Structure 1
Amino acid sequence: MQATATVLVYSDDANTREQVRLACGRRPAPDSPVVRILECATPAAVLKELDKGGIDVCVLDGEAVPLGGMGMCRQIKDEIFGCPPVLLLIARPQDAWLATWSRADAAVTLPVEPVEFARALASLLRKKELSGV
Protein backbone atom coordinates (compact mmCIF):
# COMPACT_ATOMS: atom_id res chain seq x y z
CA MET A 1 0.00 0.00 0.00
CA GLN A 2 1.19 3.50 -0.79
CA ALA A 3 2.71 5.55 2.04
CA THR A 4 0.50 8.65 1.62
CA ALA A 5 -2.93 9.21 0.10
CA THR A 6 -4.24 12.64 -0.91
CA VAL A 7 -7.87 13.31 -0.03
CA LEU A 8 -9.51 16.36 -1.58
CA VAL A 9 -12.23 17.85 0.64
CA TYR A 10 -14.71 20.25 -0.99
CA SER A 11 -17.01 22.38 1.13
CA ASP A 12 -17.67 26.09 1.32
CA ASP A 13 -18.10 25.60 5.08
CA ALA A 14 -14.85 25.63 7.06
CA ASN A 15 -16.58 23.75 9.92
CA THR A 16 -17.51 20.87 7.60
CA ARG A 17 -13.94 20.70 6.28
CA GLU A 18 -12.72 20.61 9.88
CA GLN A 19 -15.16 17.79 10.77
CA VAL A 20 -13.76 15.75 7.88
CA ARG A 21 -10.17 16.50 8.85
CA LEU A 22 -10.79 15.46 12.47
CA ALA A 23 -12.78 12.33 11.54
CA CYS A 24 -10.04 11.23 9.16
CA GLY A 25 -7.21 11.79 11.59
CA ARG A 26 -3.75 10.74 10.50
CA ARG A 27 -5.15 7.64 8.81
CA PRO A 28 -8.76 6.38 8.70
CA ALA A 29 -7.86 2.73 9.45
CA PRO A 30 -4.77 0.81 10.58
CA ASP A 31 -4.31 -0.67 7.09
CA SER A 32 -4.78 2.70 5.32
CA PRO A 33 -2.00 4.99 4.20
CA VAL A 34 -1.31 8.24 6.00
CA VAL A 35 -3.74 10.82 4.62
CA ARG A 36 -2.89 14.28 3.38
CA ILE A 37 -5.97 16.53 3.30
CA LEU A 38 -6.28 19.06 0.49
CA GLU A 39 -9.08 21.54 1.23
CA CYS A 40 -11.07 23.32 -1.49
CA ALA A 41 -13.81 25.88 -0.85
CA THR A 42 -14.85 26.53 -4.47
CA PRO A 43 -15.80 24.40 -7.48
CA ALA A 44 -13.01 26.05 -9.51
CA ALA A 45 -10.43 24.99 -6.92
CA VAL A 46 -11.68 21.38 -7.07
CA LEU A 47 -11.37 21.27 -10.86
CA LYS A 48 -7.91 22.86 -10.74
CA GLU A 49 -6.64 20.28 -8.24
CA LEU A 50 -8.18 17.36 -10.13
CA ASP A 51 -6.57 18.59 -13.36
CA LYS A 52 -3.19 18.52 -11.61
CA GLY A 53 -3.74 14.85 -10.67
CA GLY A 54 -2.57 12.94 -7.63
CA ILE A 55 -5.92 12.90 -5.82
CA ASP A 56 -6.78 9.49 -4.35
CA VAL A 57 -10.30 10.19 -3.01
CA CYS A 58 -12.65 13.20 -3.16
CA VAL A 59 -14.92 14.07 -0.25
CA LEU A 60 -17.67 16.40 -1.48
CA ASP A 61 -20.18 18.29 0.65
CA GLY A 62 -23.65 17.80 -0.79
CA GLU A 63 -24.75 21.03 0.90
CA ALA A 64 -21.95 23.23 -0.49
CA VAL A 65 -22.80 26.55 -2.14
CA PRO A 66 -22.84 27.65 -4.96
CA LEU A 67 -22.43 24.13 -6.40
CA GLY A 68 -23.40 21.23 -4.20
CA GLY A 69 -21.30 18.12 -3.93
CA MET A 70 -23.85 16.05 -5.85
CA GLY A 71 -23.66 18.29 -8.91
CA MET A 72 -19.87 18.52 -8.55
CA CYS A 73 -19.64 14.72 -8.34
CA ARG A 74 -21.69 14.21 -11.48
CA GLN A 75 -19.62 16.83 -13.30
CA ILE A 76 -16.23 15.36 -12.38
CA LYS A 77 -17.38 11.82 -13.14
CA ASP A 78 -18.27 13.07 -16.65
CA GLU A 79 -15.28 15.34 -17.21
CA ILE A 80 -12.26 13.93 -15.36
CA PHE A 81 -10.59 10.91 -16.97
CA GLY A 82 -9.80 8.36 -14.27
CA CYS A 83 -11.84 10.32 -11.73
CA PRO A 84 -10.93 9.31 -8.18
CA PRO A 85 -13.58 7.67 -5.99
CA VAL A 86 -16.02 10.11 -4.39
CA LEU A 87 -17.37 10.06 -0.84
CA LEU A 88 -20.41 12.33 -0.67
CA LEU A 89 -21.56 14.07 2.50
CA ILE A 90 -25.38 14.18 2.47
CA ALA A 91 -27.83 16.01 4.73
CA ARG A 92 -30.26 13.13 5.28
CA PRO A 93 -30.21 9.37 4.80
CA GLN A 94 -33.19 9.87 2.44
CA ASP A 95 -30.82 11.69 0.07
CA ALA A 96 -28.95 8.46 -0.70
CA TRP A 97 -30.82 8.11 -4.01
CA LEU A 98 -29.40 11.50 -5.06
CA ALA A 99 -25.92 10.26 -4.18
CA THR A 100 -26.57 7.33 -6.53
CA TRP A 101 -27.77 9.73 -9.25
CA SER A 102 -24.57 11.75 -8.86
CA ARG A 103 -22.51 8.55 -9.27
CA ALA A 104 -20.84 8.87 -5.87
CA ASP A 105 -18.95 5.78 -4.77
CA ALA A 106 -20.14 6.12 -1.15
CA ALA A 107 -22.16 8.50 1.02
CA VAL A 108 -22.34 9.38 4.70
CA THR A 109 -24.62 11.83 6.50
CA LEU A 110 -23.83 15.21 8.00
CA PRO A 111 -22.79 16.08 10.61
CA VAL A 112 -19.78 13.83 10.10
CA GLU A 113 -19.85 10.84 12.42
CA PRO A 114 -16.15 9.93 12.83
CA VAL A 115 -16.41 6.12 12.87
CA GLU A 116 -18.83 5.94 9.93
CA PHE A 117 -16.77 8.46 7.93
CA ALA A 118 -13.42 6.75 8.62
CA ARG A 119 -14.88 3.36 7.64
CA ALA A 120 -16.25 4.72 4.34
CA LEU A 121 -13.03 6.57 3.50
CA ALA A 122 -10.84 3.57 4.31
CA SER A 123 -13.02 1.39 2.09
CA LEU A 124 -12.60 3.78 -0.86
CA LEU A 125 -8.84 3.95 -0.30
CA ARG A 126 -8.66 0.14 -0.31
CA LYS A 127 -10.70 -0.08 -3.54
CA LYS A 128 -8.47 2.56 -5.14
CA GLU A 129 -5.36 0.62 -4.12
CA LEU A 130 -6.77 -2.67 -5.47
CA SER A 131 -7.82 -1.12 -8.75
CA GLY A 132 -4.37 0.38 -9.24
CA VAL A 133 -5.88 3.53 -10.79
Structure 2
Amino acid sequence: MMAMQCCQIKRPILLVFGFFAVALPASAQSQSSATPSASKFMMQGQAEQSNSSIIRDALGRPCLDVEAAARPQVVNPSMIDHVVSIKNNCPKMIHVKVCYHNSDRCNEATLSGYKRVDTTLGTMRNVNFFRYSIHQK
Protein backbone atom coordinates (compact mmCIF):
# COMPACT_ATOMS: atom_id res chain seq x y z
CA MET A 1 0.00 0.00 0.00
CA MET A 2 1.29 3.40 -0.87
CA ALA A 3 1.21 5.97 1.88
CA MET A 4 0.49 9.50 0.83
CA GLN A 5 2.90 12.01 2.18
CA CYS A 6 1.66 15.46 2.93
CA CYS A 7 4.07 18.31 2.92
CA GLN A 8 3.68 21.65 4.58
CA ILE A 9 3.82 24.66 2.30
CA LYS A 10 6.01 27.43 3.69
CA ARG A 11 5.01 30.97 2.86
CA PRO A 12 7.23 34.04 3.13
CA ILE A 13 7.12 35.85 6.46
CA LEU A 14 7.00 39.65 6.50
CA LEU A 15 8.81 41.26 9.45
CA VAL A 16 8.10 44.94 10.09
CA PHE A 17 10.44 47.14 12.17
CA GLY A 18 9.21 50.73 12.13
CA PHE A 19 10.09 51.98 8.67
CA PHE A 20 11.73 48.68 7.66
CA ALA A 21 9.94 45.69 6.19
CA VAL A 22 11.87 42.48 5.52
CA ALA A 23 10.45 39.42 3.76
CA LEU A 24 12.02 36.11 4.73
CA PRO A 25 11.95 33.49 1.98
CA ALA A 26 10.60 30.05 2.83
CA SER A 27 14.12 28.57 2.75
CA ALA A 28 15.34 30.96 5.48
CA GLN A 29 12.42 30.33 7.82
CA SER A 30 13.73 27.06 9.20
CA GLN A 31 17.17 28.58 9.72
CA SER A 32 15.88 31.73 11.42
CA SER A 33 13.64 29.83 13.84
CA ALA A 34 16.56 27.66 14.94
CA THR A 35 18.82 30.66 15.53
CA PRO A 36 18.41 31.98 19.09
CA SER A 37 20.14 35.28 18.25
CA ALA A 38 17.41 36.47 15.86
CA SER A 39 16.79 40.21 15.70
CA LYS A 40 15.29 41.40 18.97
CA PHE A 41 14.46 45.08 18.64
CA MET A 42 12.80 46.50 21.73
CA MET A 43 10.55 49.28 20.47
CA GLN A 44 10.35 52.25 22.83
CA GLY A 45 7.48 54.54 23.73
CA GLN A 46 6.90 58.10 22.58
CA ALA A 47 9.33 60.91 23.25
CA GLU A 48 8.92 62.77 26.52
CA GLN A 49 7.49 66.30 26.46
CA SER A 50 10.06 69.00 25.74
CA ASN A 51 9.98 72.78 26.02
CA SER A 52 10.12 73.30 22.25
CA SER A 53 7.03 73.77 20.13
CA ILE A 54 5.98 71.07 17.68
CA ILE A 55 6.44 72.02 14.03
CA ARG A 56 3.31 71.20 12.03
CA ASP A 57 2.33 70.97 8.36
CA ALA A 58 -0.43 72.96 6.63
CA LEU A 59 -3.10 70.55 7.91
CA GLY A 60 -1.94 70.79 11.53
CA ARG A 61 -0.24 67.38 11.67
CA PRO A 62 3.22 67.07 13.28
CA CYS A 63 5.99 67.10 10.67
CA LEU A 64 8.18 64.61 12.49
CA ASP A 65 7.49 60.89 12.72
CA VAL A 66 9.67 59.46 15.51
CA GLU A 67 10.44 55.86 16.45
CA ALA A 68 12.98 54.53 18.90
CA ALA A 69 14.36 51.06 19.49
CA ALA A 70 16.88 49.30 21.67
CA ARG A 71 19.03 47.18 19.36
CA PRO A 72 21.48 44.52 20.61
CA GLN A 73 24.89 44.57 19.00
CA VAL A 74 25.83 41.57 16.87
CA VAL A 75 29.20 40.81 18.44
CA ASN A 76 28.11 41.34 22.07
CA PRO A 77 24.30 41.07 22.50
CA SER A 78 24.47 42.38 26.07
CA MET A 79 25.55 45.78 24.67
CA ILE A 80 22.39 47.59 23.59
CA ASP A 81 22.35 50.53 21.13
CA HIS A 82 19.63 53.12 21.76
CA VAL A 83 18.56 54.22 18.28
CA VAL A 84 16.12 57.02 17.48
CA SER A 85 14.74 57.28 13.93
CA ILE A 86 13.22 60.60 12.83
CA LYS A 87 11.41 61.16 9.52
CA ASN A 88 10.48 64.62 8.27
CA ASN A 89 7.10 64.50 6.47
CA CYS A 90 7.19 68.21 5.54
CA PRO A 91 8.99 70.09 2.75
CA LYS A 92 10.86 72.43 5.11
CA MET A 93 14.19 71.77 6.83
CA ILE A 94 13.94 71.01 10.57
CA HIS A 95 16.76 71.02 13.13
CA VAL A 96 16.32 68.52 15.97
CA LYS A 97 18.15 67.76 19.18
CA VAL A 98 17.56 64.25 20.60
CA CYS A 99 18.50 63.75 24.26
CA TYR A 100 18.13 61.19 26.98
CA HIS A 101 15.28 62.53 29.13
CA ASN A 102 16.49 65.10 31.71
CA SER A 103 20.07 64.73 30.52
CA ASP A 104 22.64 66.70 28.54
CA ARG A 105 23.65 63.62 26.50
CA CYS A 106 22.29 64.71 23.12
CA ASN A 107 22.69 64.31 19.37
CA GLU A 108 21.80 67.05 16.91
CA ALA A 109 20.60 66.49 13.35
CA THR A 110 19.25 68.47 10.42
CA LEU A 111 16.44 66.88 8.47
CA SER A 112 15.83 68.07 4.92
CA GLY A 113 12.31 67.89 3.57
CA TYR A 114 10.92 64.34 3.35
CA LYS A 115 14.18 62.80 4.62
CA ARG A 116 14.96 60.45 7.48
CA VAL A 117 17.79 60.34 10.01
CA ASP A 118 18.76 57.53 12.37
CA THR A 119 20.88 58.48 15.36
CA THR A 120 22.42 56.30 18.04
CA LEU A 121 21.79 58.12 21.29
CA GLY A 122 24.00 55.82 23.34
CA THR A 123 25.07 52.27 24.13
CA MET A 124 24.58 50.60 27.50
CA ARG A 125 25.02 47.10 28.88
CA ASN A 126 21.68 45.24 29.34
CA VAL A 127 19.55 48.42 29.29
CA ASN A 128 16.62 47.60 27.00
CA PHE A 129 14.39 50.57 27.80
CA PHE A 130 15.26 54.26 27.67
CA ARG A 131 13.48 57.60 27.81
CA TYR A 132 14.30 60.38 25.37
CA SER A 133 13.10 63.83 24.38
CA ILE A 134 13.20 65.75 21.11
CA HIS A 135 13.67 69.51 20.75
CA GLN A 136 12.62 70.95 17.37
CA LYS A 137 13.99 74.19 15.88
TM range (shorter): under 0.3
Structure number with higher relative contact order (C-alpha < 8 Å, ≥ 6 residues apart): 1
Q: Name the structure with the higher strand share.
A: 2
Structure label with greater radius of gyration: 2
Q: Name the structure with the higher helix share.
A: 1
Q: TM-score, normalization: structure 2?
A: 0.26
Q: TM-score, normalization: structure 1?
A: 0.26
